[in-house]
């Protein structure tokens, strides 16, 4: 898993969610974002993105490809 917006992020993936920890500036502050699956259709996953310490959340559609395709 590589998020091109946060290439140095630490990412933990399990069966129910993705937990991404990234440094947001040079002061060492961390942003923790959780992506929780809401719906699945074929290889597409609708996830809810929730960032720790923020009051809003938003939805993202991930389209996972087989490993040999090397794209997300």
Please give the residue that has the higher pLDDT: either 47 or 7.
Answer: 47
pLDDT in tens, 22-70: 887 766 778 899 999 998 888 888 999 999 888 889 999 988 776 665 5
- pTM value is 0.74
Pick from 29, 28, 10: which is nearest to 20 by CA? 10
Whole-angstrom Cα distance, residue 72 to residue 69? 8
Whole-angstrom Cα distance, residue 57 to residue 2? 21
Whole-angstrom Cα distance, residue 43 to residue 56? 26
**Region 8-35: what's the mean pLDDT?**
84
Whole-angstrom Cα distance, residue 60 to residue 26? 27
């Amino acid at each position: 898993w590589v998020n091109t917006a946060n290439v140095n992020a630490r990412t933990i993936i399990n069966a129910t969610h993705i937990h991404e920890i990234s440094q947001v500036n040079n002061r060492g502050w961390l942003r923790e974002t959780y992506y929780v699956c809401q719906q699945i259709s074929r290889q597409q996953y609708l996830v809810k993105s929730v960032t720790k310490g923020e009051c809003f959340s938003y939805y993202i559609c991930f389209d996972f490809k087989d490993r040999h395709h090397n794209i997300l």
